[in-house]
Chains A and B, each alone.
Chain A
Amino acid sequence: MSEAVQNSRLAHWYRSWEEQTESVTLAMWFFLVTEVMFFGGIFTAYLIYRAQNPEAFAAASHHLDIVMGGVNTAVLIGSSLTVVMSVWAAERGKQKALATWLFLTMLLGLTFLVIKYFEYSAKFEHNLVPGASFEFHDTRAGEHGYVDPSRARMFFHLYFFMTGLHALHMIIGLGIYGVLLFNTLKGKYSVRWHDPIPVAGLYWHFVDLVWIFLFPLLYLIGRH
């Protein structure tokens, strides 16, 4: 990239490159704390319903696939690693490595969504999607009390809303990373200017953070 184009990356209202980086990073954190409120509201709703219907929610969560959920957790943690590697490569101007890490991040994100697709399909097949064909049976072994299907249905309402919203964030993340990869291949980023890489990284890590809480709360609690 030429020196002129290079310098045009520094917006005129900033005094230095550092100030610009600091500003865009802070702006992303501002967005992320609004996202905390967004997801936080749904998590709170889930915890209240869970506290009020512990039996029905425990029975319902037994229908979730721990293997798929666990693999997806590992996939997302892996993608977080490829994201920090992309930042590492961008800081050192290693363009080829940067493109590779961005591509791997997208690949892992896509893997997550494909696994999620199979999980959702199984729920449709077993009539566990809230709606006219919803049917619930307690599949746990041993003695358990009566489980109200309408209470179990509430679990699946929340499950689909929470994981669906998370998946939507993944899809948006894939779009962002597609743009980053495209721009990297066009040679837009340099050692001096590559702010979009770490800023998009913050977003991706946040989506990983949401899953870090979703997985134990939806899949693991009440499992034994």
Chain B
Amino acid sequence: MSTESEHHIGLPQYFSVFGALMALTGLTIWIAFQDFGWLNNVFAVGIAVIKATLVILWFMHLRYSSQLTKSLLLVSLFFFLLLVAFVFADTLTRGMLEITGRPPVIGG
């Protein structure tokens, strides 16, 4: 058996990805102690997404996987994010209209 990865990916790429992941970890910790206001949250999640993408594409070889595998992940992620988006559309907007007589949102 010869897997796809062996024709494309070499050790230098693995070490580069490893180095990038470590550097991004350092960066995200440094950013956590700076005050960028609401951007802090954006940076924290954004860096985590970049790190996850590096792991998925190179360490998990998704770049060199079949179209079927790629589609599986993309379609699943799309529907997962859709599900989460609708949950947030509900929970994060409660109490916004301040309808008279409606009890206040707990913890809101």
Contact = CB atoms under 8 A, between A and B. Distances in A.
Interface of A: 17-18, 20-22, 25-26, 29-30, 33, 36-37, 40, 44, 47-49, 51-53, 66, 70, 73-74, 77-78, 80-81, 83-85, 87-88, 91-92, 151, 191-195, 198, 201-202, 205-206, 208-209, 212-213, 215-217, 219-224
Interface in B74-98: 76-77, 80, 83-84, 87-88, 91-92
Chain B contact surface mostly: helix
B32 A77 contact: no
Given A66-B29, A221-B32, A84 B66 contact: no
B44 A33 contact: no
B5 A91 contact: yes
A21 B108 contact: no
A53 B1 contact: no
B14 A88 contact: yes
B52 A212 contact: yes
Contacts of A220: 28-29, 31-32, 44
A21 B11 contact: no
A37 B80 contact: yes
B107 A53 contact: yes
Chain A contact surface mostly: helix
A88 B11 contact: yes
A194 B6 CA distance: 13
A84 B14 contact: yes
Contacts of B63: none
Nearest to B45: A216
